[in-house]
Structure 1
Amino acid sequence: MVEENRNNESNNKGKRNDDVKKREPAKECTTNEQQPSKKKNRKEVAVFGNYRNYYGYRVGQDLDEDPRLKVMKREWFEGKDCLDIGCNSGLITISIAKKFGCSSILGVDIDGARIEDAHWTLRKVMKTSTQKTTSKTTQGSADAKLSNSLEKHKNHSLVKVTGEYDSPPEETKDLFKIVSFQKGNFVQGWRTPSNTHYHAILCLSVSKWIHLNWGDEGLVTLFWRVWTLLQPGGVFILEPQPWSSYYNNRSVSEITAANYKNIEIPPEDFQDVLLDKIGFRKVDNLTSSLSGTKSGFDRPILAFWK
């Protein structure tokens, strides 16, 4: 009987130990796995450079506008059809439409979530402009007449000594008719609406991500497609990332890691490829007039002419 009790006690102890063994790994797994996942969530991995809130840390709250806009000229965009490759949340796309008076501008991004962000941004901008307009129209009729008189006078004096133009009042622009966004992979499968050709095409801090994900072939495809979509005399505005930036992002996926090892066209050779291989006739380096850029984003901006 005593022996039987000992056996029962031994068996029960064994069961308890087995239960502990079953429970302990689960508890340890929960502790060790959940914590790293939280850390990963803090550092966003964007395989295509499709960061959320990209402009939040690129431009920040301390700047009135993206510094890159200051090196661009109205005559490149005014009354013309434009394309923004890799538009992200659409801030640059919308800003160009507002500041330079495009006839149309289309923003394309590979990430549908960023396109949704861009549509949200456009609605927010239009809502703000509408509120400003409503506020102004509620002024007294005398003030309204004076404002109209001043506006007419201003319209007769648009040309400055520098040859630049004042931007038309934001509230007079229906951006919904000018700005549009579309999800698409520019180097693979995307087609322009109604075979449109453009007078200005932008590719700002996007070439690295195309290069890492599709290699040299993808980069050349980018350049060639831009060339074919540009009107004669059109401008291609390129902001390439430096090679050091490639190194920092080479391991975001297995594909980028493999392509990084095989890249033979470094960013410093892009200009030669675009001029000698693709066929652009000249290039203007806009970097010297660029100021106010945040640390880590001091990249060259080049304008290539077809």
Structure 2
Amino acid sequence: MAENERKEKKGKKTKAIPVYGNYKSYYNYRIGHDLKEDPRLAVLKKEWFEGKDCFDIGCNQGLITISIAKKFLCQSILGVDIDAGLIENAYWNLRRTAKMECASCRSVEASESNVSNRVNGLEEMVSASVNKETMHFPIDSSPAKEGGLVDRVSFHKENIVESLDACSEKYDTILCLSVTKWIHLNWGDDGLITLFVKIWRLLRLGGILILEPQPWESYRRKHLVSEAAAMNYHSIVLKPALFQEILLDKIGFRTVENITDNLPGSVAGFNRPIFLFRK
């Protein structure tokens, strides 16, 4: 039986064990109930995404992927996750968000139509007594609408450690948020290095990696989710404190910047530093 299909008994029901960190309600655990959006979005800059091709590793249900597309207007963004069920949920969230966006657009268009009708009516009223050449009515000069969410956002089931072997430069920005622990526990140090190398290969020259690694102490709480995780936990040498050195000195990133040490509004245990690496 595949690791991600392992079950544990709980009364008469079974509960899926998130071997890969593939929690079905991850965002509910992470985001405070009084927040409207993921607090990580507050530390991201539009210039890292606008008009760029982006890649979100371990996208879960796609909520932050979709939010980035909406808020920062990236040209494209692909979210990948090892769990097919989460990818299905991500597409459901994308369709729901796109419908809400369309409904909002229709409301704005209806309002603009009413304004246009009123302006036309005023033109007719004054045309009889005022020379129209002296009148000026505003013309809609707003820029054309960007491509819709469904045109810019996509999701795909993918095991990035065991696939994408022939990857080459495709992306300007890659997100790897709260993923490294699960790669580490399931594939050990070799899997982590494989992840970093593939990220490097997928980034265009000048591209950026936004990395949110889980701290080493959080590994202990999850190392018993599978036999592989328990075994790897005790053999890991490249602990999170070494990630910056590995990415700079071994993988080849030029610079690193800590973009936050504090995420106000984060649930306890999720207030983690986020780093930006430049290729």
TM range (shorter): 0.7 to 0.9
* Whole-angstrom CA distance in 2 between matches of 1:211 and 1:56: 24
Alpha-carbon RMSD across the aligned residues, in angstroms, is 2.5
The match for 1:285 among 237, 258, 264 is: 258
Q: How many residue pairs end up in the alignment? A: 253
Question: 1:71, 1:289 within 8 Å by CA — same for their partners in 2?
Answer: no
In the TM superposition, what is the alpha-carbon distance from 1:255 to its structure 2 partner?
0.5
SS in 1 for 2:205: strand
5+ residue gaps, structure 1, are 1-32, 156-167
TM-score (norm 1): 0.76
Residue in 2 aligned with 1:10? none
Structure-2 residue corresponding to 1:207: 180
Partner of 1:20: none
> In structure 2, the residue corresponding to 1:237 is in which secondary structure?
strand
1:133 offset after TM fit, Å?
1.6
Query: Which has more strand, going by share of residues?
Result: 2
What residue in structure 2 maps to residue 83 of structure 1?
Answer: 55
- C-alpha distance in 1 between matches for 2:116 and 2:23: 44
The normalised TM-score by structure 2 is: 0.83
Q: Over residues 220-247 of structure 1, what are the superposed CA-to-partner deviations in whole Å (9 max), with x where a residue is unaligned?
A: 0000110111011100000000111100
The residue number in structure 2 matching 1:64 is 36
Match of 2:100 in 1: 128
Runs of at least 5 residues in structure 2 that lack an aligned partner in the other structure: 1-7, 119-137
CA contact (8 A) 2:77 2:153 kept: yes
- 2:157 matched residue in structure 1: 183
Which among 249, 266, 274 is matched to residue 239 of structure 2?
266
The structure with the greater share of residues assigned to helix is 1
SS in 2 for 1:106: strand
Name 2:4's counterpart in structure 1.
none
- Offset of 1:187 from its aligned partner? 0.9
Change in CA separation of 1:87 and 1:192 when aligned onto 2, cut-off 3 Å: farther
Mapped contact 1:98–1:173 kept (Cα < 8 A): no
Once residues 41 and 150 of structure 2 are traced to their aligned partners in structure 1, the CA distance between those partners, rounded to angstroms, is: 21
More deviation, 228-237/290-299 = 290-299
Report whether the alignment pairs 1:107 with 2:107.
Answer: no
Q: Distance in 1 between matches of 2:10 and 2:154?
A: 41
**What percentage of aligned pairs have identical amino acids?**
53
